[in-house]
A and B are shown apart, each in its own frame.
Chain A
Amino acid sequence: MKALSSFKYDFRASLVVFLVALPLCLGIALASNAPLSSGLLAGMVGGIVVGFLSNSQVTVSGPAAGLAVIVTSAIYDLGSFGVFSLSVVIAGVMQIIFSFVKGGRLGYYFPTSVIKGMLAAIGIILILKQLPHALGFDADFMGDESFFQRDGKNTFTEILWALESTHLGASLIALMSLGIMISWEKLAKSGKEIFQLVPGALIAVVASVLMNLFFEKFIPNLSILDQHLVQLPNFKAGFSLPDFSAFNNPKVYLTAFVIAIVASIESLLSIEAADKIDPQGRITNKNRELFAQGVGNTITGLIGGLPMAAVIVRTSANIAGGAKSKFSTIFHGLWLLLCVATIPHVLNLIPLSSLAAILLVVGYKLAGPEMMKSMYKKDWNQFAPYALTIIAILFTDLLTGILIGMIVGFVFVIRSSLHKSIVMVNEGNQYLIRFHKDVSFLQKSNLLKMFDQIPEGASVVIDGTKVYIDFDIAELVEEFQKRSAGKNISVELKKSTLALNTTFLEKHA
């Protein structure tokens, strides 16, 4: 009986998630410059397969906005969607391997500031790249991932160009969609349940379809042509196999690695966030999640779907919709399947510009101006890697940007740890040097400067008993002790049986 009563909630929640997921799956596929059906396939696999395998009861997986930027450039670099699908399969296998080597800790090795910077940059890219689509201009499908595009234009010139060749009907539809989503969200925040359960994006899409039908009937000049509408092939044609002949292309593996890493991090972050908002406070096994995601990506790759990750917007919709168990996410996958199998012609009425509008909102939320403000107010050590990651990703590409962000992050970590880890005090000719934080070889020059300040005839105590001392530093201390004999400086090392370094370690008698 208990299972039955919770099924009622799961059923209702699954419909809510389905309605949120449908436009997002299409929109993310659009943003990825991939066949739109691939987004729906990823949504199905994310719901049915990952939902079934995952250890989380409330998390929803599917195509992720955070991956769209990688997918766009990967499809372009690899030359065909079939080759790209192969790297998705390999990425899935890599994630399964991550899960077996307990890679659930992976997320902890990336500084939060860099991850936040990555998400913000993806948000900004989504906004910049979707603006032309929203205005009804879809000419440039290539090079969407980076600021400087291969056709000699950059993102801004493209927006300007798009402004000149806008399609009024498409722009109106995008504008209306934005208006609906923004006001819908405001109404949802005011607490009316209906606005919380029915997603604004879905209303925007339905309204867009109706508006375009209206244009067709009464103002044909404004109506949107087929090429600017969703064009789903029939159900069977949506599936495609990977191009296995590309297995010896090293780029396939590099792409797979980037997808595996970013998808894993995104999934782990979403899982962590989902566990925090799960009303039942269940904690998800992270390694098990990587396994589920890995199987999901392998399968989606095999059937021609986009790569996927655990995603937070659909997850929070699931929880808000009242989901109690994983039946909800599994059923949302089934609804997607049912929808594509039975009513593709209805989906084909959706104008791309309304999907672009949805992505503008997603991008705005990822870029998070409020987050930027709060990061700016934080410590410089946090803000600098955050801001530099954003800038580096915008002007290079995602992988290079993340690497630059990581390096900057580490430089700042090191810089702040260099601060004040050695104290030197003196009383006349008597000196005490104490290491009070762990010291590494990076502190060599600091320590040498201190040694240089000690005059001849001084007596020095060096206390390194309480912290970890790098071999290089210990060596420097011992050298100083030897050199000092000739300079009439007496050096005494404080010893302890608790010391972490042999130089300062005292043996039990």
Chain B
Amino acid sequence: MKNINKILLENKAWAQSKIDLDSEYFTKMAIDQKPEYLWVGCSDSRVPPSEITNTDPGQMFVHRNIANLVIHTDLNFLSVLQYAVENLEVPHIIICGHYNCGGVKAALSNQSLGLINNWVRNIKDIYFTHKTDVDSIPTEKERVNRLVELNVIEQVKNLAHTSIVQNAWKSHKRPHIHGWVYDLNTGMIKQLICLDPETEVDSAYRYDF
């Protein structure tokens, strides 16, 4: 059987197994969603958010891109963010990177990859800011992993610099923003940073409402 047909069958079996346990499962699920988390993660196939956190359909709103970046001109991401924060009212946003990330590796190399250079440029900027820190690390592998962590922290800060988050912090005291990194070798998540709604945003990025 072709793999593509296999996964269609797997889907059918999955749906059937849910219905066998709860005949109303999908009809109830279809009505509405009230997720608790917005997950901003990497597109890497080895980091499936609902699998690694054992969360069920309906629990997590998801945005994934290469190297889990928060870009202020990315209309796609900003729409997701606004909808999650203002309409779904999620109490938590999780930015989750992972060690040995291909996008971060690319940022540390001098290879030209075509169109994707423009996306990776955002990570190169972070590298440039922390160049002495990163370059002092002896091995390539550890340099990549350090930049992975720095990238997550920068993206968490980027989130805090959006007017969407600042507005929600001020008027609703939510969401919490978590910066995590996932280790492909152990399957474990490490917490790097957590910003609560009381966090002071640097005056350069602060909006008055």
| Interface of A toward B, CB cutoff 8 Å | 434, 463, 496-500, 508
B residues whose Cβ falls under 8 Å from a Cβ of A: 18, 21-22, 24-25, 28, 54, 56
Residues of B within 8 A of A508 (CB): 24, 28
Which residue of B is nearest A499, CB measured? Answer: B21
Task: Select which of A434, A497, A500 is within 8 A of B25 by beta carbon.
Answer: A497
Question: Among A496, A497, A499, which residue has the most Cβ atoms of chain B within 10 A?
Answer: A497
Which residues of A lie under 8 Å from residue B18 when comparing CB positions?
A: 498
CB distance from B127 to the nearest CB of A (A): 32
Distance of A499 Cα from B22 Cα, bound (Å): 9
Distance (whole angstroms) from the CB of A138 to the closest CB of chain B: 59
Q: List residues of chain A with CB within 8 A of the CB of B24.
A: 497, 508
CA gap between A500 and B18 in the complex, in Å: 11
A-B CB proximity, top 6 nearest: A498-B21, A497-B22, A498-B22, A508-B24, A508-B28, A498-B18
Alpha-carbon distance between A318 and B209 when the two chains are bound, in angstroms? 91
A498 surroundings in chain B (CB, below 8 A): 18, 21-22, 25
Closest to A427 in B: B191
Interface centre among A463, A498, A499, A500 (most CB of B within 10 A): A498
* Residues of chain B contacted by A500 (CB below 8 angstroms): 21
Give chain B residues whose Cβ lies under 8 Å from the Cβ of A497: 21-22, 24-25, 28
- The residue in chain B whose Cβ has the minimal distance to the Cβ of A509 is B28
What's the Cα separation between A498 and B23 when bound, in Å?
A: 9
Given A434-B54, A497-B21, A498-B25, 8 further pairs, Cβ under 8 A: A463-B54, A496-B56, A497-B24, A497-B25, A497-B28, A498-B21, A500-B21, A508-B24
Smallest CB-CB separation from A497: which chain B residue? B22
Please, which residues of chain B bring their CB within 8 A of the CB of A499? 21
Shortest C-beta distance, A438 to chain B (Å), equals: 14
A contact residues around B54 at 8 Å (CB):
434, 463
**A499 CA to B21 CA in the complex, in Å?**
7
User: What are 7 residue pairs bridging A and B, where the CB atoms are less than 8 Å apart in the complex?
Assistant: A463-B54, A497-B25, A497-B28, A498-B21, A499-B21, A508-B24, A508-B28
How far, in angstroms, from A23 to B63 measured CA to CA in the complex? Answer: 75
> A463 vs B54: C-alpha distance in the bound complex, in angstroms?
10
CB closest chain-B residue, reference A436: B54
CB distance from A216 to the nearest CB of B (A): 67
- A57–B160 CA distance with the chains assembled, in angstroms: 76
A496 and B54 alpha carbons, distance in the complex (Å): 13
> Smallest distance from the beta carbon of A502 to chain B beta carbons, Å?
13
Chain A proximity of B60: nearest CB distance (Å): 15
Chain A: minimal CB distance from B150 (Å): 24
A236 CB to nearest B CB, Å: 61
In the bound complex, what is the Cα–Cα distance between A434 and B54 (angstroms)? 11
- Distance in Å: Cβ of A67 to nearest Cβ of chain B: 42
Within the complex, what minimum Cβ distance (angstroms) separates B14 from chain A? 12
Shortest distance in angstroms between B25's beta carbon and chain A's nearest beta carbon? 6
